Amino acid sequence: MAEIELDDQHYKEAVERGLTERTGRPAPVSVRYERSSGRIVVEFDNGTAFLVPAGLLQGLEKAEADDIANVELLGETGLHWPSLDVDFTIAGLMQGIFGTARFMDASRKGGQSRSAAKIAAARRNGMRGGRPRKSS
């Protein structure tokens, strides 16, 4: 593999591009686990916050509350759980990426499973006229 040479000018240009991309974008300032709601809360320097249910994240779905609460910011881009060896990018979480493609696919199919008991219950419910209407 060829070695990449970076002269001072290229380095300065790269730093300037990074600063330009960073300007105007909120930066995370803190992260915590809300035990009462089961959510991870990332707060940003502009006063906004992003919340995600911890139980939906691969590697956290069966973790103990104390391990989930031991979350750290990784610079301005990620979250890290040292005791669980789990990492997520904040941008990925905001895009709904809660794990590997295989994990996400299995999570989506959970409510769509067609067990014999579920099929029988749906048939019984259908014979009664379907789902009851909401009362106002």
Domains by residue range for the chain, with CATH: 26-127 (3.30.2020.40)
CA distance 111 to 109: 6
- Using alpha carbons, list the distances in angstroms from residue 120 to 109, 117, 124, 131, 133: 19, 5, 6, 14, 21
48-58 pLDDT, tens digit per residue, is 999 999 999 99
Question: 119 vs 33, which has greater pLDDT?
Answer: 33
Evaluate if residue 120 carries a pLDDT over 90: no
Amino acid identity for residue 89 in this structure: T
> What pLDDT, on a 0 to 100 scale, did the predictor assign at position 136?
65
Q: Structure pTM?
A: 0.66
User: What's residue 31's pLDDT?
Assistant: 97
What percent of the chain stands above pLDDT 70? 93
Q: State the pLDDT at residue 127.
A: 81
| Cα 45 to Cα 66: distance, rounded to the nearest angstrom | 26
Average pLDDT for 1-13: 80
